[in-house]
Structure 1
Amino acid sequence: MRVALVNPNRYLEPPVIPLGLEYLAHYLDREGHEVEVVDLAFTPEPAQELSGRLSAFRPHLVGFSLRNLDTSLYHDPLFFLDEFAELISVARKVCGAPVVVGGTALLAGPREVAEYVGADCAVYGPGERALPHLLRYLEAGSEMPRLVDGWEHSFDRGEVPARGRWVDYGPYLRERGLAGFTTQTGCLGGCDFCLEAGLPWRTRDPRAVVSELASLREAGVRELHLCDCEFNQDLDSCKELLHLWISSGLDLEWSLYMKPLPHDEGLFRLLRRSGAVSVTLSVDSRSLATGKYGLLDLQSFVELARRRDLRVAVDLLVGFPGEEEGEVRDLLDFFRAVRPDTVGVNAWIRVYKYTGMGKEVRRRPPRSGTFLGSGGDPDFLRPLYYNWLSMEKLCELIGEDPLFRVEGLERRSNYERLRGPGTGASGG
């Protein structure tokens, strides 16, 4: 069957190569389907481009990958679903084929997102085997289900997806983007504000990951960014992969996201030997308050990374219900003393319908603080933020220290910030 896979994500700060569509295209091609990837990221007329490509290809199914609902930043508020809905409407008018949506945006509510954008079906979770499964309904002349759980179908651990065949990397790499890769899916964490919390966790075969990286290197790719939610979910898995990576002699530089625990000195040594150059460390004050990790764990992380010449950017989320100003001040003072390379502070918490925090505030609204944004949307698809710490007070707590920045006031990724001269680590 003919399948068109569409990347409608046109937010370019920085541009993100549609890795999920590359993986999907590989699996569909493996199953004998004819695939056309329609990448709208850089086209000045997305509706016209989409219409022309679909008219020529005449697909039996159109799949849209929806990366995000919005920017999730109060100070940079962009909402994407309306544009996605318009493009899906164009697809319907042009070819009349069923429309399937997938991607991380659906973690906010697969049925709700599918209904909002006007899709026939939603794939929740990995689509590599779920999408071929859906095509069997069409081949049999049966009606497709409205919702498919991709976690039930998952992916093949040892598969090595073809890279660079389906998407032109050139425009992305010229405009500050990096090629991505994955080593695992899901998350073992339980952060109650996060859409990825508790998703089924499964690692890829390390040999498949290294083979994929080798193919990217042969294609001329030199820099990479890891697309896992966080790399260090299991130390043994991380080290197995890194040992194989190092022994394979891959000449690559890469950046990644990590959480405070688990970690040890050996992990950082292997990361550096593999070519890792920078790490974004995700920290939230609620996890600290509930004992998931402590300040000594954060200090150890920063110091061990610095010992191996790994630059560290901290993404710091504060301002949870029940928190007090003194707790935020103490945490900022801690980072002022420990001195990672940069700390991005966010005190405006994006609330989603099905996260632990979303369920909590719907059941029992906080006694203090306020909700900002589209409080009239019962599905919380339009941006809604909880906040009790004003911009003025946050700036007062930060002071003039260049170590800190308020998230959303500039459009630069952490790996871009960490390339620049001058870091907080040199401060006193």
Structure 2
Amino acid sequence: MKVLLINPNRYMFPPVPPIGLEYIAGALISAGNKAEILDLCFSENIFKEIDNAIDLFKPDITGITVRNIDSALFLNNEFFLNEIRDIVKHIKENCGLKVIIGGAGTISCPKDILEYLDSDFIISGPAEGSINYVLEQINSNTNNKIFYGTCTSGLKINRIISGINYNKYLEKGGIAGFETHKGCSSSCCYCIEANTKVFFKEISDVINEIKELINIGCSHFHLCDSEFNESLEYCLDFCNALKQENLNIKWTAYMKPDNFNKKLFQLMKETGAYLITLTVDTYKKCDMYWSDIERFLFSAKSTGIKVAVDLLTGFPYEKEQEIKQHLENIRRPLPESININTYIRLYKNTRISKQIISDKNLHKYLIYYSNDENLIKPVFYNHINLEQLSQIVEFDPIFRIDGADKGVNYNRLENIAT
């Protein structure tokens, strides 16, 4: 089959190359199918470009990625599904093709997203290992519309990077990405990826991807894992292998305050890592959690790696004094910055959403809630507003309000790269 893979993501803060589609294209081609990527990130006329691509490639079916439902932050929130729905409608009505939806944003509620977008099919979860099976099912006229993607550790996929114009991304402040694994074993109460099955990639394959991107002019990388340190053993093996290649790159990653040691940070530094974003939340944490954060910060900083903290706080029944104590715990080791968010985005089936929706006493703190159980359109919980938060942080410059300006840590702190 011929499959046109479409990236509808035009969010520019920063623009993010659709690496998921590059993996899907590789999986399709390896099975004897044909695939092309249509990247609409910088498009000025998306429907004209869609029509042109379909006229030239003449696909049998199309696939559209949903990286995110919305920008997830209350301030300057952008909702992405309406434009994607318009694209789906255009392809079905004007081009006469069926549409498969996939991408990281679909895992929160695949059935509801399928219906909202009026798509023909949806793959929820990593699709590299299942896309060809899904096509077989579609060809056999299956009645099934919802498929669940899966991978296996060590699955070899030849990532196709030729379908993306990386120069445009670099010009607009974007950077190349790579990933070492899928899934996340953490159980964060607010996250749609919590407790998803973990699949590790072959380290040699990951390094080969980096080399291919270097060959087309990329030298600055963002690790696209939910959090790099899912396994300390794997991280050490990866960094040792990367060190042996002696590549002249710089890279940044998200991490959690678990599965780390001084040796890991030293290896990361030696391979070009210059910035870590440490994800932290204050939901029912024990004293050991705060000790781990302090140890993480001191260990990373001692190697010369900068650390920015992304902090989610203001959970139900948390008091201002508790939040002040949490902030002091994080501030004491002096990270590069602490980005605070007290507006909690609710997604269907997350533990925090179930708790808040079931507790009528908390409904007065909901923003944009209209008894929509699907929670597709942005709904936020907040009982510490911006004025209160400003008073709590006492205008200390180490703190910044997440979403007040658009961008990510590697853009804001790029001048600290070494």
- The answer to whether TM tops 0.5 is yes
| Residue of structure 2 equivalent to 1:6 | 6
| 1:181 is the counterpart of 2:175 | no
| Residue of structure 2 equivalent to 1:134 | 134
Candidates 276, 280, 283, aligned match of 2:277: 280
For the residues of structure 2 that align with 1:293 and 1:27, how far apart are their CA atoms? 43
- Residue 215 of structure 1 deviates from its aligned partner by 1.7
- Cα gap change, 1:200/1:292 in structure 2, threshold over 3 Å: closer, same or farther? farther
Query: Which is worse superposed, 106-115 or 50-59?
Result: 50-59
Q: How does 1:283-362 map to 2 (within 5 A)?
A: 283-286=280-283, 289-291=284-286, 293-362=288-357
For the residues of structure 2 that align with 1:144 and 1:217, how far apart are their CA atoms? 44
Contact 1:3–1:59 under 8 Å retained in 2:
yes
Query: Which is worse superposed, 204-213 or 355-364?
Result: 355-364
- Residue 147 of structure 1 deviates from its aligned partner by 0.9
| 1:217 is the counterpart of 2:239 | no
- Cα gap change, 1:392/1:181 in structure 2, threshold over 3 Å: closer, same or farther? same
For the residues of structure 2 that align with 1:236 and 1:80, how far apart are their CA atoms? 38
For the residues of structure 2 that align with 1:54 and 1:71, how far apart are their CA atoms? 29
| 1:83 is the counterpart of 2:83 | yes
Contact 1:314–1:340 under 8 Å retained in 2:
yes
- Cα gap change, 1:199/1:365 in structure 2, threshold over 3 Å: closer, same or farther? farther
Q: How does 1:97-136 map to 2 (within 5 A)?
A: 97-136=97-136
For the residues of structure 2 that align with 1:53 and 1:99, how far apart are their CA atoms? 15
Candidates 383, 390, 408, aligned match of 1:388: 383
For the residues of structure 1 that align with 2:27 and 2:362, how far apart are their CA atoms? 50
For the residues of structure 2 that align with 1:277 and 1:150, how far apart are their CA atoms? 33
Identity of aligned residues (%): 31
Q: Please, which runs of 5 or more residues in structure 2 have no aligned partner?
A: none
Q: Please, which runs of 5 or more residues in structure 1 have no aligned partner?
A: 423-428
For the residues of structure 1 that align with 2:246 and 2:195, how far apart are their CA atoms? 34
- Cα gap change, 1:369/1:138 in structure 2, threshold over 3 Å: closer, same or farther? closer
For the residues of structure 2 that align with 1:384 and 1:123, how far apart are their CA atoms? 24
| Residue of structure 2 equivalent to 1:263 | 260
| Residue of structure 1 equivalent to 2:96 | 96
1:261-296: CA deviation from partner (whole Å, max 9, x where unpaired): 12111111111111111000000001xx33385222
| Residue of structure 1 equivalent to 2:49 | 49
1:174 alignment partner AA: E
1:101-135: CA deviation from partner (whole Å, max 9, x where unpaired): 00111122011111101111110111112211122
| Residue of structure 2 equivalent to 1:426 | none
Contact 2:320–2:392 under 8 Å retained in 1:
no
Contact 1:194–1:355 under 8 Å retained in 2:
yes
- Residue 347 of structure 1 deviates from its aligned partner by 0.3
2:241 alignment partner AA: L
For the residues of structure 2 that align with 1:131 and 1:42, how far apart are their CA atoms? 27
Contact 1:311–1:341 under 8 Å retained in 2:
yes
| Residue of structure 1 equivalent to 2:15 | 15
| 1:29 is the counterpart of 2:44 | no
SS at match of 2:184: coil
Question: C-alpha root-mean-square deviation of aligned residues, in Å?
Answer: 1.7
TM-score of the pair, normalised by structure 2: 0.96
- Residue 218 of structure 1 deviates from its aligned partner by 2.2
SS at match of 1:343: strand
| Residue of structure 1 equivalent to 2:164 | 167
Query: Which is worse superposed, 373-382 or 71-80?
Result: 373-382
For the residues of structure 2 that align with 1:146 and 1:293, how far apart are their CA atoms? 45
Candidates 404, 410, 417, aligned match of 1:415: 410
2:222 alignment partner AA: H
For the residues of structure 1 that align with 2:346 and 2:396, how far apart are their CA atoms? 29
- Residue 51 of structure 1 deviates from its aligned partner by 2.1
| Residue of structure 1 equivalent to 2:190 | 193
- Residue 155 of structure 1 deviates from its aligned partner by 5.0
Candidates 231, 235, 238, aligned match of 2:228: 231
- Cα gap change, 1:136/1:163 in structure 2, threshold over 3 Å: closer, same or farther? closer
| Residue of structure 1 equivalent to 2:144 | 145
For the residues of structure 1 that align with 2:211 and 2:406, how far apart are their CA atoms? 31
- Cα gap change, 1:155/1:93 in structure 2, threshold over 3 Å: closer, same or farther? farther
- Residue 219 of structure 1 deviates from its aligned partner by 2.3
For the residues of structure 2 that align with 1:368 and 1:10, how far apart are their CA atoms? 33
SS at match of 1:305: helix
For the residues of structure 1 that align with 2:188 and 2:62, how far apart are their CA atoms? 34
For the residues of structure 1 that align with 2:112 and 2:127, how far apart are their CA atoms? 18
TM-score of the pair, normalised by structure 1: 0.94
For the residues of structure 2 that align with 1:293 and 1:102, how far apart are their CA atoms? 38
For the residues of structure 1 that align with 2:198 and 2:165, how far apart are their CA atoms? 30
For the residues of structure 1 that align with 2:159 and 2:106, how far apart are their CA atoms? 25
- Cα gap change, 1:144/1:36 in structure 2, threshold over 3 Å: closer, same or farther? farther
Contact 2:23–2:157 under 8 Å retained in 1:
no
How many residue pairs align between the two structures? 417
- Cα gap change, 1:293/1:180 in structure 2, threshold over 3 Å: closer, same or farther? farther
- Cα gap change, 1:148/1:367 in structure 2, threshold over 3 Å: closer, same or farther? closer
For the residues of structure 1 that align with 2:272 and 2:160, how far apart are their CA atoms? 20
- Residue 34 of structure 1 deviates from its aligned partner by 1.6
2:263 alignment partner AA: G
1:238-264: CA deviation from partner (whole Å, max 9, x where unpaired): 111111111122221100000011211
For the residues of structure 2 that align with 1:240 and 1:125, how far apart are their CA atoms? 26
SS at match of 1:186: strand
